[in-house]
Amino acid sequence: MRFLPLPGEPTAGIQRIDVEGMIRQASTRVRVDHLVKTGKKYIHLLSRAIVDDLINRSVRTIVDKHRLATGPRTAGIEEESRTEFEELLLQYQQTTDATSAVEHSRRMIEQELPKESPPANDRTALAPSPGGVREIAILQKRMEKLLAHVATMEAALKTLSTAKTFSNQQVQNLLRELGLAQEDKNFEKKKEMLKIVLDTNQGIRQKARELAARGITLEAPEERAVFTDAAESLSDACSRSSV
């Protein structure tokens, strides 16, 4: 702990506490003859150095006291921080590994590409053999297919990223196209069920219209048990359509 630096004293890095100012603020200025008048013959004097020392001591005591009180918690926090740090480090390492793997793959592809498909002017210079020409043509076709696939993927991703509200169907189709969709083992079963749900709902509407035409409503239900039967609705619908 230091007093305010004297003029010319370096100030950087010093914690400034204006002890003098604080004492001045906290104390009252009294004339000596006034004290004498009030019967005070002896006055205790306290030097600045001692005030400084006292402040230092009390600060140290408080800090020590708090350190003792928060000791175990600090240890816990340290332990937690260490674990978290290790996790983060691991994640970072994994990310770095993944990035380097991607970079490696990219380099490999770049190395492979010129081999598979040399630029047009190189091709003339190389003057490939008749067998080689066929191979190059096949590779070119494959490349075209790959590029088309990449373009589709890019378009799909663009659609996904720009659309404000997606249709789930659309998203699923795009994900399937990208090979990211998890295949549903019940897909076929669900497809059939959805068709039946549609047929049943169409049946409900059709039958309700017929009942309404006959004057049968909830208020006046002539036939109480007109339950939905998917099969019945379907057969009814079919017979009607055939007629």
Partner 1 sequence: MTYGSSLAPHVDRPSEAEPPVRAGVLYVGMDLGCYKTSVAATNGTREIVHSIVGWPKDPVSRKMLGKDIVFGNEAYRHRLALDTVRPFERGALKYVDDAATGIPKEKLGRYKLAARELVHYVASLCRPPRGTLVYGVIGSPARASILNKQALIDACKGTFESVMIVSEPFAVAYGMNQFEDTLVVDIGAGTTDLCRMHGAIPSDEDQITIPKAGDYIDDCAFKLIKERHPSAQFTINMVRDAKERLSFVNDVDDKAMVTWPNREGRPTSFDITAELKEACRKIVPDIVEGLRELVSSFDAEFQRRMLQNVILAGGGSQLRGLDRLIEEDLKQYGGGKVVKVHEPDYAGANGALKLAADMPEEYWKAVN
Give residues in contact with partner 1 (CB under 8 A).
163-169, 186, 189-190, 192-198, 200-202, 204-205, 207-208, 211, 216-219, 221, 224-231
CA distance 26 to 34: 19
Q: Which is nearer to partner 1, 96 or 172 (CB)?
A: 172
CA distance 50 to 44: 13
Q: How far is the CB of 152 from partner 1 (least distance, A)?
A: 20
Q: Which is nearer to partner 1, 28 or 167 (CB)?
A: 167
Helices 48-116 and 19-26: crossing angle, nearest 10°? 130
Q: Which is nearer to partner 1, 51 or 175 (CB)?
A: 175
Q: Which is nearer to partner 1, 165 or 242 (CB)?
A: 165
Q: How far is the CB of 160 from partner 1 (least distance, A)?
A: 13
Helices 130-162 and 168-177: crossing angle, nearest 10°? 160
Q: How far is the CB of 183 from partner 1 (least distance, A)?
A: 13
Q: Which is nearer to partner 1, 78 or 192 (CB)?
A: 192
CA distance 14 to 1: 9
**φ and ψ of 205, to 5 deg:** -65, -45
Q: Which is nearer to partner 1, 85 or 166 (CB)?
A: 166
237 within 8 A of 203, measured Cβ to Cβ: yes
The tokens for 131 are 């067998």
CA distance 202 to 194: 12
Q: How far is the CB of 155 from partner 1 (least distance, A)?
A: 18
175 CB-contact burial (10 Å; exposed 0-12 / middle 13-18 / buried 19+): middle
Q: How far is the CB of 219 from partner 1 (least distance, A)?
A: 5
Q: Which is nearer to partner 1, 183 or 219 (CB)?
A: 219
Question: In Å, what is the CA distance from 62 to each residue of 56, 57, 73, 127?
Answer: 10, 9, 17, 88
202 within 8 A of 194, measured Cβ to Cβ: no
Cα of first residue to Cα of last residue in the chain, in angstroms, is 104
Which residues are CB-neighbours of 44 under 8 A, at least 6 positions away? none
